[in-house]
Copies of this chain bind each other. A is one copy, B any other.
Amino acid sequence: MNFLGVDIGGMSIKVGIIREDGSILRRDAVPTEVGKGDQLDILRRCIELCKRLVQEEQLSLDDITAVGVGSPGTPDVAHGILIYAANLNFRNCPICEVLSTALKLPVFLANDANVAALAESRIGAGRGCKSSVTITIGTGLGGGVVLNDRVYAGFNGAGCEIGHMVIHTGGRPCTCGRKGCLEAYVAAPALISRTVEAAEAHPDSMLAALIRREGKVTGKTLFDGAKTGCPTAVNLLNDYLDDFAEGLGNVINLYLPEKIILGGGISKQGESFRAELEKRVLDKSFNIGSLPTTQVALAELGNEAGIVGAAFYAKDCLEDHIGSFHEGKNPCAI
């Protein structure tokens, strides 16, 4: 069986023809061009890319079983509608209806973080596990939860918001409106703000000197500063890792996944970062005696996680009879 995996991002639309084992037959991408036209124009670019890839592979749409779409924002998976995605400027966009009309195929919509987590779980760092939580640390802290080998996205399909778990009640303000969310302590903007604050409080530190020399602060600055042995940087990194581990300890105590998989920019700090977090996390999770414990792993898949995961998601929906396309009862099925 072949699937089309579609990954709609703020910068580019990626599409792949994916075999059921997750291998990629063919892939390509086009710019999303959010500002150019309306949301239907973006979907038209999706459809053109899907058709072109199938043609280039010398297949027809009859050779495709279904289409999976991963998108940022909040999907209404039952109705195939993207309710809202700020960076796409989408509002109540009937993605499944538009794509399934044009392609004459069943189309399934899910959040991009969830489908990427599904790919990571099946053929990445979580292969062989039935449950994993993939946490992507970037401008936000996104989470994708896979339980019993399926995406778990809550009763309404909106997806789990691991970044918006409060660990410091009344603490740093978060974009979601709460105070003290994990995201407000460990996502890249928080890491950068905390680095700047520490350097301002300790202008004579090596960290401050490093920032003056480089002329900017990134998510890497604190790690580089700590490597020089700068006490200001070492202390802040210690606090940062403690906050992160506090959040991961909560994730373990609530989901008890076989693996927590770390992705995104900050996870590029690599094995020492992973090992340090795992050590702190084990101290914070509930003692379960002789039972196996959750492992912390680094994500293994790159940019293709979105298209592969979207294809896996479409396959799962067909297998589990989620979305009654064949009975014409689902509004996604035109």
Contact = CB atoms under 8 A, between A and B. Distances in A.
Each complex incorporates copies of this chain amounting to 2
Among A130, A160, A286, A287, max chain B CB count under 10 A is at: A286
B254 A289 contact: no
A242 B169 CA distance: 9
Contacts of A169: 167-168, 242-243, 246
Interface stretch (A54-62, A146-154, A188-196, A223-231): A146-154
A255 interface: yes
Given A254-B161, A289-B74, A246 B166 contact: yes
Contacts of A251: 254
A76 B294 CA distance: 15
A83 interface: yes
A255 B160 contact: yes
A152 B156 contact: no
A255 B84 CA distance: 20
A161 B177 CA distance: 26
Contacts of A253: 160-162, 164-165
A289 B162 contact: no
A156 B293 CA distance: 8
A166 B253 CA distance: 10
Contacts of A84: 289
Contacts of A160: 253-256
A165 to B, nearest CB: 5
A317 interface: no
Nearest to A143: B254
Interface in A286-321: 286-294
B154 A256 contact: yes
B256 A155 contact: yes
A134 B147 CA distance: 19
A249 interface: yes
A12 to B, nearest CB: 25
Contacts of A158: 256, 286, 288, 291
A223 to B, nearest CB: 22
Given A147-B152, A164-B253, 17 more contacts: A74-B291, A76-B290, A154-B255, A155-B294, A156-B293, A158-B256, A159-B256, A160-B253, A160-B256, A162-B253, A162-B254, A167-B167, A168-B168, A169-B242, A250-B250, A251-B254, A254-B254
